[in-house]
Structure 1
Amino acid sequence: MSHDPHFEREQQKYDNPIPSREFILEWLNGQSGPCNRDQIGQALGLSGEDQWEGLRRRLRAMERDGQLVFTRNKCYALPERMDMILGRVMGHKDGFGFLRPDHGDQDLFIPYRCMSKYFDGDRVMAQPLGVDKRGRREVRLVRLLEPRKAPIVGRFHKDGSIAFVTPQDKRIPQDILIDKGMANGAREGDICVVDVLERATHFMAAKGQVREILGEENAPGMEIEIALRNYDLPHQWNQRIDRQLRKLSDEVVDDDKTNRVDLRHLPLVTIDGSDARDFDDAVYAERKRSGWRLWVAIADVSHYVKKGSALDEEAIARGNSVYFPSQVIPMLPEKLSNGLCSLKPKVDRLAMVCEMTISDSGSLSGYKFYPAVIHSHARLIYEQVADALEQGTKDPNLERLLPHLEVLQELYLTLNKAREERGAIAFETEETQFIFNDQRKIESIVPRSRNQAHKIIEECMILANVAAARFIKKHKAETLYRVHQSPSETKLTSYREFVRERGLTLGGGDEPQPMDYSNLLGQIGDRDDAELIQIMLLRSMSQAQYSPDEDGHFGLALNAYAHFTSPIRRYPDLQLHRSIRYLLNREAAAKAGKPITENWTRDGGYFYQIEELDELGVQCSTTERRADDATREVSDWLKCEYMQAHLGDEFDAVIASVTSFGFFARLKGLFIDGLVHVSSLANDYYHFDSGRQMLQGESSARSYRIGDAVRVKIAAVNLDDKQIDMVLVDNVKSRAKSGRTAKASSGRSKAKGSIRSQLARGEIGGKSKSSRSTSSKAKGGRGKSGGSKSRTSRGGKSKRQR
């Protein structure tokens, strides 16, 4: 006990302290093998019944948290010395799963027999089993360490006396039994939220209680309600936040305008989408003798959201705003996001300003940051600005601002040339927008084009982000950088093969640089497959993330890049604002001979330590991926709902991806993907060539490759699986002549242990109702519809996620 470095901490917590967890782990690590409780207690010098009972509880707690493994010989062992792996379960709709290790190694396969007691999202301890017949590294799940945080959302069913909920999330293929009195008024077909009361065993299904009834599946907005819960997205404000908001005025008070640079005379303007509600950036530029001066004013969120406050804790939990096609789940309450922090026109607002000087060649030659008070002179939209720059305007309000907009345009053209010279990859893929009717159902899907106004704002924001990263480096401080690494070797090899099949070459050898990708895009011009080549290039890229390590941004060809321009909707930007504010205060205090001794300042500044940023980077990267997954799921659901009205219709399409079980065709103009299953291809056996990404006929010369144009017919739409089945029109005609028809499979594939399948087999309850039976899917698995993520109603703002 006397050697325990944490003994004083334990004394403060307990009247009769026992060895700390750290000391127990250190001692066990020095032993040659696992030890039982008696051996541990004797070696650590315990005495008295209270200490022995305390040790028992501590060992059980360490076992529960995955720090120790309780072996069959009733001994305690260190998981790392038993080759145990800690990680998260990722379920699969076909009943098996994968383990994503905590330490970031390759995902491991979890066989069906091990998944019956676990849910997608569970944190577990697993034991490696070797390699299965397909060459996948396999594990056995040993213990649940932390249940999934997200509740289970599903459809309520009743068959005789048996009630159960079938999860909407296809990564959870097991049903939840609802005992009598636990239905909370749910009726057949209701979508409800379930709390799991008892985990499943090898012989019994999981049991749960209905916590909340969301309503009918086809109710307007139900797809968002489901996604919010499936992905555990915070979407309600608690009482602590309400109390904090009540202390804020509706408009900026005079006291808050003091000690700031007054820029209200500058004709700063916001340029956003027509449906944007939160305006977090305003811009203005002047032409100088040898370049430009550019002001980028960003909403000063750090003034209102202080580190450690209730608002701050909620903002960290959310990480970012989530932009669904018809609804926004904001990171900050509306009083801030659409009110005090929104740079609305004709009102005073607080801002953090980045004032930059740019040379005639487009180089950032100088910058400075400072808190300011601004007064936006106009709220402009992208199309309005683009039309005025191209054709002029007769609008007197816009005409007054047009000379300033022309300066911004001139600056953009120079910045864009500099961007090309450094080799930044310019993606110009076509995107779509959902148009909703009054019932919140999709009325149409239309293309969303990016005009020059979008690009003007994008270049101004990129330049401010670069200046912010340089400012942090100059002051030898830490921040979260936006890191985008070069493609992995596997993805690089695959993409090289893809472009080679199209007669193109990606230069750069084993380590191509951004310029090599940019040169490739310059070769595709007006080719019919130009859009697909860019999409495949995007797929080959690594996913950007937040990290305190300054590893550069590959896509933008920048050595250091940080997010500064959207603190209303991204937490990393808010973190960066606090860091800049602290450094400004520290610099001013040093000049005044009054150095700052705290790591925070009263005006919202904060000096982050590297350990804090490590954890924050993981959190922000995770919430960003969570938002992407949730919005993709909603978009897929809406696309399927839209296509229900087009069953039997024919469309021109292009093959977007090829698999061993068929290919996905993307409908032209709609960007909706559907599966053409290999079993529906006529008159031949087809084999998958992974290297060339194609299906090749065995006896015919027919092949299907990415980029091929096809004509398809909508055969089936399955909302549950968010899946669209298609058949080739030529195949339908040829099979009709021979007396056969092509049939696309649909319906959800149920795990053998599901309650519904047990009812069908008569293993539990009464006779199953035939109207509820489902057909299993064709062997080989199914993919999701809608491989291209639809734009939200943000009016182009999502481009700034770069």
Structure 2
Amino acid sequence: WDAYAVVNRGRETRQPLELELPERKILLKEDGTVDRVVVPERLDAHKLIEEFMIQANVAAAETLEAKRQALVYRIHDAPSLAKQESLREFLQTLGLSLARGAQMRPNQFNGILDRVRGADHEGLVNEVVLRTQMQAEYSPSNIGHFGLNLKRYAHFTSPIRRYADLIVHRGLIAALGFGAGGLTQAEAERLEEVSALISATERRAMAAERDTVDRLIAAYLAERVDDRFDARISGVTKSGLFVQLPQYGADGFIPVSSLDGDYYIYDETARSLFGERTGKGYQLADRVEVRLIEVAPMAGAMRFEMLTDPKPLPGSKRSFHKAKGRARASQSRPGSRGRRR
């Protein structure tokens, strides 16, 4: 623990990106069906292991660089200014300001996360900040790791399940003269091609994992059609509302055509749907109550019904005529008319 205290002080000085995104864990019964969905508590022991693994990965990269041995880095580029602008617009809908233009650093993203800690929309802001980031990948050319705020980083600690780690191990064997099995010169010359391939297969594996989790949770909730759930609006489009059930990490959709009592107009800037007649509506990050209407387990899809009444939206009156004009222009085209309730 004393050693962990030392490396943790280094982490605090380094100020990596500190996202709080609880990971769902699905517990299965003996027959392979879902028993329950839990979010395991993250303990100091987990943080200790994580930080030591990061330090081991850094040490591997530094050793290979010092020996002038070719290696596969784990790189993570800074987010684009366009993504930062999208984040700024999103934060505005929550009453949070963010300066325009300059390239942000991890500690500045952490400042945003600190401002929403304990708020209802804390989880959503963490997710949007994550989506603002570029995707990490493998490359023989080093640009550093933005999220971890490190100048060099490689994957070393899991050679039994990640090919990038195995390449790093074989590079160390060659660089340190540990005997047979080291990375050959011919293999080192192909690292650009190999890095692109393992980056692509990693993305494919992550997509498969997400699809599997969505299907398992949908199958689990299929027995609860017509039940009510507390939810949060996680996305707004002109077609309807995406909602998330925090207890399960499950996502579903509410079609705009199912929202009763008004004709709803999409306000892209405010990320909201508001009623043409009342000006009331629904906005990103709102807490709502929903009813599960339909489940498609094989697609991992769920459809919900809104039970919470629309609320007055700040600024909806100001943007009403502008949004209304856009909506009417769209509806004048054949086949674009929405359903009025």
What TM-score bracket applies, with the shorter chain setting the length? 0.7 to 0.9
Cα distance in structure 2, aligned partners of 1:730 and 1:420? 42
RMSD: 2.0
Paired AA for residue 603 in structure 1: A
CA offsets per residue over residues 31-67 of structure 1, 9 Å max, x none? xxxxxxxxxxxxxxxxxxxxxxxxxxxxxxxxxxxxx
Q: Is it true that 1:710 corresponds to 2:288 in the alignment?
A: yes
Q: Which residue of 1 aligns with 2:325?
A: none
Instruction: Supply the AA of the counterpart residue of 1:444.
Output: R
Find the counterpart in structure 2 of residue 465 from structure 1: 57
Task: Select the residue among 629, 632, 650 that pairs with 2:228.
Answer: 650
CA contact (8 A) 1:505 1:520 kept: no
Task: Give the whole-Å Cα distance in 2 for the aligned partners of 1:413 and 1:686.
Answer: 54
- Number of the residue aligned with 1:627: 205
Listed one character per residue, the Cα deviations across residues 104-154 of structure 1 (whole Å, up to 9, x for unaligned) are xxxxxxxxxxxxxxxxxxxxxxxxxxxxxxxxxxxxxxxxxxxxxxxxxxx
Q: Deviations over 1:634-668 (max 9, x none)?
A: 11111111111010000000111112211111113
Counterparts of 2:154 and 2:336, CA distance in 1 = 46
Instruction: Specify whether residues 505 and 411 from structure 1 end up closer, same or farther in structure 2 by C-alpha distance, changes over 3 A only.
Output: farther
- Asked whether the 8 Å contact 2:288–2:308 carries over to 1, the reply is no
Please say if 1:548 is aligned against 2:140: yes
Equivalent position of 2:275 in the other structure = 697
SS in 2 for 1:704: strand
- SS of 1:654's equivalent in the other structure is strand
**Corresponding residue number in structure 1 for 2:255:** 677
The superposition leaves residues 323-348 of structure 1 with CA deviations (integer Å, 9 ceiling, x where unpaired) of: xxxxxxxxxxxxxxxxxxxxxxxxxx
SS of the residue 1:560 aligns to: coil
Confirm or deny: 8 A CA contact 1:711 1:729 kept in the other structure.
yes
CA contact (8 A) 2:233 2:241 kept: yes
Cα distance change of structure 1 residues 702 and 690 upon mapping to structure 2, 3 Å threshold: same
Give TM-score, length-normalised by structure 2: 0.86
> 5 Å matches for 1:59-70?
none
Task: Please state how far the C-alpha of 1:474 moved relative to its aligned partner.
Answer: 1.4
- Contact 1:425–1:555 (8 Å) recurs in 2: yes
Where does residue 728 of structure 1 map in the other structure?
Answer: 306
TM alignment of 1:382-531, pairs within 5 A? 409-506=1-98, 509-531=101-123
2:183 to 606, 617, 622: 606
CA distance in structure 2 between the partners assigned to 1:440 and 1:458 by the alignment = 30
- The one-character-per-residue Cα deviations of 1:490-514 (angstroms, maximum 9, x if unpaired) are 3211111112222333458421111
Distance in 2 between residues matched to 1:489 and 1:690, nearest whole Å: 19
Q: Which has the larger radius of gyration?
A: 1
Amino acid corresponding to residue 110 of structure 2 in structure 1: S
User: Aligned pair in 2 of structure 1 residues 560, 508: CA closer, same or farther (>3 Å)?
Assistant: farther
Q: How do 1:61-140 and structure 2 match up within 5 A?
A: none
Q: CA deviation at 1:602?
A: 4.8
Q: What SS does the aligned partner of 1:626 have? A: helix
The code of the aligned residue for 1:605 comes to G
Show structure 1 runs of 5+ residues with no match.
1-408, 586-600, 732-777, 781-802
Q: For 1:663, which of 234, 241, 245 is the aligned residue?
A: 241
* C-alpha contact (below 8 Å) 2:173/2:179 kept by paired residues: no
Note the 1:790-801 alignment, pairs <5 A.
none
**Is it true that 1:577 corresponds to 2:169 in the alignment?**
yes
Q: Which gives a bigger RCO, structure 1 or 2 (Cα 8 Å, sep 6+)?
A: 2
- Evaluate the alpha carbon distance shift between residue 692 and residue 412 of structure 1 in structure 2; reply closer, same or farther with a 3 A threshold: farther
* Structure 2: tracts of 5 or more residues without a match: 310-334
Task: Name the amino acid aligned to 1:448.
Answer: P
Instruction: Name the counterpart of 1:285.
Output: none
Query: In the alignment, residue 663 of structure 1 is paired with which amino acid?
Result: L
More strand by proportion, 1 or 2?
A: 1
2:24 aligned counterpart, secondary structure: strand
Q: Which residue of 1 aligns with 2:322?
A: none
Write the deviation string for residues 437-486 of structure 1: whole angstroms up to 9, x where unpaired.
Answer: 12110121112221111100000000011111111221222211101111
Asked if 1 retains the 8 angstrom alpha-carbon contact of 2:292 and 2:304, the reply is yes
Aligned partner of 1:674: which letter?
Answer: G
Contact residue 75 and residue 142 of structure 2 kept, 8 A: yes
CA distance in 2, matches of 1:577, 1:508: 43
CA contact (8 A) 2:77 2:146 kept: yes
Structure 2 vs 1, CA of residues 472 and 652 (structure 1 numbering), >3 Å: closer, same or farther? same
3-state SS of paired residue (1:687):
strand
Question: Any conservation in 2 of the 1:552–1:560 contact (CA below 8 Å)?
Answer: yes
Secondary structure of the 2:108 match is helix
Q: Contact (CA 8 Å) 2:138, 2:198: kept in 1 or not?
A: yes
Structure 1 length normalisation: TM-score?
Answer: 0.37
Identity of aligned residues (%): 37
Q: Given the alignment of the two structures, is residue 615 of structure 1 paired with residue 197 of structure 2, yes or no?
A: no
Aligned amino acid, residue 560 of structure 1? R
Distance 1:563 1:667 in 2: 34
Q: Distance in 1 between matches of 2:235 and 2:32?
A: 31
Residue type of the alignment partner of 1:623: T
Cα deviations by residue, 1:582-608 (Å, 9 ceiling, x for unpaired): 0111xxxxxxxxxxxxxxx85211145
Deviation at 1:701, TM superposition (A): 2.2
Q: Contact between 1:486 and 1:542, CA under 8 Å: does it hold in 2?
A: yes
Q: Is the 8 A contact 1:653 1:667 kept in 2?
A: yes
CA deviations 1:498-538 (Å, max 9, x no partner) are 12222333458421111211222222222221111111111
Q: Is the 8 A contact 1:684 1:698 kept in 2?
A: yes
In the TM superposition, residue 433 of structure 1 has moved relative to its aligned partner by: 1.3
Q: Is the 8 A contact 2:53 2:157 kept in 1?
A: yes
Which residue identity lines up with residue 456 of structure 1 in the other structure? L
Aligned-residue offset at 1:423: 2.1
Report if the CA contact (8 A) 2:93-2:271 is conserved: no
8 Å CA contact 1:716, 1:724 repeated in 2? yes
SS of the residue 1:691 aligns to = coil
> Does structure 1 conserve the Cα–Cα contact (< 8 Å) formed by 2:236 and 2:273?
yes
Where 1:637 maps in the other structure, the secondary structure is helix
Partner Cα separation in structure 2 for residue 490 and residue 703 of structure 1: 28
What's the CA shift string for 1:400-435, capped at 9, x where partnerless?
xxxxxxxxx232233223222222011122222112
- How far apart, in 1, do the equivalents of 2:301 and 2:248 lie? 15
- Runs of 4+ in structure 1 over 3 Å off: 505-509, 607-611
> Contact 1:640 / 1:719 at 8 angstroms: preserved in 2?
yes
Q: Distance in 2 between matches of 1:606 and 1:516?
A: 40
What secondary structure, in the 3-state scheme, does the structure 2 residue paired with 1:503 have?
coil
Aligned residue pair count? 311
The amino acid of 2:10's aligned partner reads A
The C-alpha deviation readout for 1:342-375, integer Å capped at 9, x for no partner, is: xxxxxxxxxxxxxxxxxxxxxxxxxxxxxxxxxx
